[in-house]
């Protein structure tokens, strides 16, 4: 007795097939630019000659991780209320340590060690002299000076200064920090500035 | 009472719909994980420490507000001289007001124009490695710093590092301008714009 299984011929569903093809197309469109971006090397890595000559390097902004190990003196400007840019500004001084601390850990130490100060609400109305005498400016000035002293830095750490500020930070604050850095001549040859979009 | 078991027909899984769903899920996670990663990243600029020994500058950039700037270079000296000649009967204070007003109209630019101008300076510096350029950037104290930092980063991208810069705080309202005549080392008479700052400026 012969059994024959009757198989039904299945047809491909055309609209669904088109759907899949379009999804594949979108997928490749999204992934190709990501691959291209990842393959581009930063400029300083591409030209070793420039680092040998110690030419200043800058070019395009580099995207960096939010919580790397702290290797420079980080002057962090935050809003008093993280959600309100008009709430005033706080400055945190984050000092690098031997124990390879992250920004988050060092920020907690800064609160404990009173390395935090608030800019007065009306600091834009102050004269230059009054502004530079505020507690926040004095803290910045003293800490930059202290960081240049080799005894205050972990061994092998260069006297680098980094500014990390919320995007609405007033130019007066950032300019003050840059001016303090340049007051030490070539001791601080470059400054790095980071935008700060997500308060911790 | 008789219960009748409901006979359910066995349904085949549709391959095409299944693939469709898998790709949808894949795309969703790809896009959301990309956004989540980017949210934790920051932009970072590295540039040489500014110079504050102000003297003469090839370029003067004054921010008016967050969106617009006022650009003065050598080309503006003839404009200033023309205003001073035209309004020679006025007091120096009035002449200054007229000069600033004219330059504000003719030399005001937005962020896109500023970027192109800065690129032109960087290109010129790259083409003349032996020449030093100095740009003075002046910004009102209350304006967010990001715009100035972007301009500094652009200027510092010169290949030979021959574009130096200085930063000062202050607004357009306290600028004072005039023209100086100087003889260069080749004996040619050159007209330079003299700019004085007043008021608060850290």
Which value does ipTM take for this structure? 0.72
Query: pLDDT value at position A50?
Result: 37
User: Which one of B63, B144, B167 has the shortest CB-CB distance to A170?
Assistant: B144
Inside any domain, residue A52: no
CB neighbours of A37 closer than 8 A, spacing ≥ 6? Answer: none
Inside any domain, residue A55: no
Residue of A58, A79, A192 best to disrupt the B interface, most CBs of B under 10 A: A58
Inside any domain, residue A150: yes
B37 Cβ under 8 Å from any chain A Cβ: no
Cβ contact A195–B146 (<8 Å): yes
- Are A168 and A85 a contacting pair, CB within 8 Å? yes
CB neighbours of A144 closer than 8 A, spacing ≥ 6? Answer: A73, A75, A161, A177, A180, A181, A184, A188
Range of the domain at A134: 73-196
Inside any domain, residue A61: no
**pTM of the predicted structure, to 2 decimals:** 0.71
pLDDT higher than 90, residue B182: no
B173 Cβ under 8 Å from any chain A Cβ: no
Which residue stretches of chain A have pLDDT < 50?
A: 37-60, 199-200
* Chain segment B128-176, per-residue pLDDT in tens: 998 888 998 999 999 999 889 989 989 998 988 899 898 888 888 777 7
The DSSP result for chain B, as a single string, is ----PPPPPPPPPPHHHHHHHHHHHHHHHHHHHHHHHHHTEEEEEEEEPPP---S--SEEEEE-SSSEEEEE-TTHHHHHHHHHHHTTTS-HHHHHHHHHHHHHHHSEEEHHHHHHHHHHHHHHHHH-TT--EEEEEEE-TTSBTHHHHHHHHHHTT-TT--EEEEEEE--GGGEEEEEEEEE-TTS-EEEEEEEEE-S---
CB burial readout A40-74, b (16+ within 10 A) else e: eeeeeeeeeebeeeebbbbbebbeeebeeebebbb
**A194 to chain B: which residues are within 8 Å by CB?**
42-45
pLDDT higher than 90, residue B106: no
Query: Would you list the domain boundaries of chain B?
Result: 59-197
Query: pLDDT value at position A44?
Result: 40
Question: Alpha-carbon distance B103 to B100, whole Å?
Answer: 5
**A164 to chain B: which residues are within 8 Å by CB?**
42
Query: pLDDT value at position B89?
Result: 87
Inside any domain, residue A153: yes
Per-residue pLDDT band at B40 (split at 50, 70, 90): low
- Alpha-carbon separation of residue A70 from A161, A167, B10, B26 (angstroms): 11, 21, 62, 36
Top mean pLDDT of A3-7, B122-126, B185-189 is at B122-126
Q: Which residue of A has its CA nearest to B51?
A: A182
Cβ contact B50–A172 (<8 Å): no
User: Which one of B17, B42, B49 has the shortest CB-CB distance to A178?
Assistant: B49
Cβ contact A16–B42 (<8 Å): no
Inside any domain, residue A82: yes
Hey, what are A86's tokens?
Answer: 């008009």
Counted domains in chain A: 1
Inside any domain, residue A62: no
A43-52, B14-23, B115-124, B186-195, range with the lowest pLDDT: A43-52
**Exposed, middle or buried, A145 (CB in 10 Å: 0-12/13-18/19+)?**
middle
For chain B, give the percent of residues with pLDDT over 90: 17
Alpha-carbon radius of gyration of chain B: 30
Check residues B12 and B68 and name the one with the higher pLDDT.
Answer: B68
Cβ contact A170–B145 (<8 Å): yes
Inside any domain, residue A7: no
Mean pLDDT, chain B, whole residue set: 81
Maximum C-alpha span of chain B: 121
């Amino acid at each position: 007795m012969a059994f024959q299984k009757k198989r039904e011929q299945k047809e491909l569903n055309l609209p669904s097939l088109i759907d899949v093809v379009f999804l594949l197309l979108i997928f490749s469109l999204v992934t190709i630019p990501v691959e291209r971006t990842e393959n581009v090397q930063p400029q300083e890595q591409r030209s070793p000659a420039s680092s040998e000559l110690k030419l200043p390097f800058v070019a395009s902004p580099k995207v960096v991780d939010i919580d790397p190990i702290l290797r420079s003196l980080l002057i962090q400007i935050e809003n008093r209320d993280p959600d309100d840019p008009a709430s005033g500004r706080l400055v945190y001084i984050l000092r690098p340590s031997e124990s390879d601390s992250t920004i988050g850990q060092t920020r907690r130490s800064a609160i404990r060690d009173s390395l935090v100060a608030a800019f007065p609400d009306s600091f834009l109305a102050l004269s230059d002299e009054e502004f530079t005498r505020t507690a926040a400016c004095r803290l910045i000035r003293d800490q930059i000076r202290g960081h240049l002293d080799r005894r205050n830095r972990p061994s092998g750490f260069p006297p680098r200064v980094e500014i990390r500020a919320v995007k609405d930070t007033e130019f007066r604050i950032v300019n003050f920090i840059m001016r303090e850095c340049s007051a030490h001549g070539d001791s601080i040859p470059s400054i790095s500035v980071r935008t700060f979009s997500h308060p911790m | 009472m008789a219960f009748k078991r409901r006979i359910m027909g066995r349904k085949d899984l549709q391959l095409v719909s299944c693939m469709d769903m898998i790709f949808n899920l894949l795309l969703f996670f790809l896009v959301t994980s990309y956004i989540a990663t980017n949210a934790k990243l920051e932009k970072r600029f590295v540039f040489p420490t500014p110079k504050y020994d102000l003297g003469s500058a090839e370029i003067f950039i004054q921010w008016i507000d967050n969106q617009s700037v006022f650009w003065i270079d050598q080309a503006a000296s003839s404009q200033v001289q023309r205003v001073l000649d035209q309004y020679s009967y006025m007091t120096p204070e009035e002449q200054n007001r007229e000069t600033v007003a004219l330059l504000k109209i003719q030399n005001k630019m937005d962020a896109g124009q500023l970027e192109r101008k800065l690129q032109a300076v960087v290109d010129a510096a790259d083409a003349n490695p032996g020449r030093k350029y100095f740009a003075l950037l002046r910004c009102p104290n209350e304006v967010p710093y990001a715009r100035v930092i972007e301009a500094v980063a652009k200027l510092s991208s010169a290949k030979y590092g021959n574009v130096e810069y200085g930063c000062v705080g202050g607004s357009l309202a306290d600028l004072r301008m005039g023209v100086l005549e100087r003889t260069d080392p080749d004996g040619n008479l050159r007209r330079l714009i003299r700019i004085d700052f007043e008021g608060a400026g850290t």
